[in-house]
Amino acid sequence: MAAKSRYRRILLKLSGEALAGGHSAGINPASIGQIADDILEASKLGVEIGLVIGGGNFVRGVAQAAQGMDRASSDYMGMLATVINSMAMQDALEKRDLATRVQSAIQMSQIAEPYIRRRAIRHLEKGRLVIFAAGTGNPYFTTDTAASLRAMEINAEVIMKATNVDGIYDKDPKKHEGAKFFSELTYMDVLKQGLQVMDSTAISLCMDNKLPIITFNLNTPGNIARVVRGEKIGTIVK
């Protein structure tokens, strides 16, 4: 019997850096192709997928603000970067015959639908993947917060956050050899210990609405499907 999804509907969160594939900026066609293959594999299990992609491979609002740029202006630039990434991912997925819609929180009708919750849910019910672009449409909110918000709006059962390490550690495992790995944490553990999973606003939103977060390594091909099937990989926050 073919493996099936443990979940009916998920929200997948990708960083913009994942699309850069090890480069300092931009989009790496090989990396975005591998991610699209993994998403396609997961979708074949029967799960409905919403997707939020960051914009850090082009511009990070917080980083620009730290260098003296107006925070609101730099955040809007970051939102536009997420639209570029969303369009690139849509192209890669549709080349693999996976019907995809981009919905933008900032209106740009020539290239994306406006974000409308009921329309997004209808797309998901019809088997289309929906990419939520431009964050929340407001400055001072990260794409982590946007992912949490959209997950709750579409009634997703879990947020799956793809990272470049195997899950959550007490410190960066790439810099500290003795970093401790956590297989399971509570929301309060994350907030109290200041663990870099998602920002505190996103974690608080998930905690208030009892929405679990699973973090896992995107660099291992097939991991998205493994998480969707309910295999014990990565770290779960609940």
| 10-residue stretch averages of pLDDT, the chain, 238 residues long | 83 94 90 97 97 91 77 93 97 98 97 98 98 97 96 98 91 84 94 89 95 95 96 95
Secondary structure (DSSP) of 188-206? HHHHHHT-SSS-HHHHHHH
Question: Does residue 40 sit in helix, strand or coil?
Answer: helix
Quote the pTM value: 0.94
Give the CATH H-level superfamily of domain 9-237: Acetylglutamate kinase-like (3.40.1160.10)
pLDDT at 58: 92
Domain ranges of the chain: 9-237
Query: Residue 42: left if φ>0, alpha if ψ -120 to 50, beta else—which one?
Result: alpha
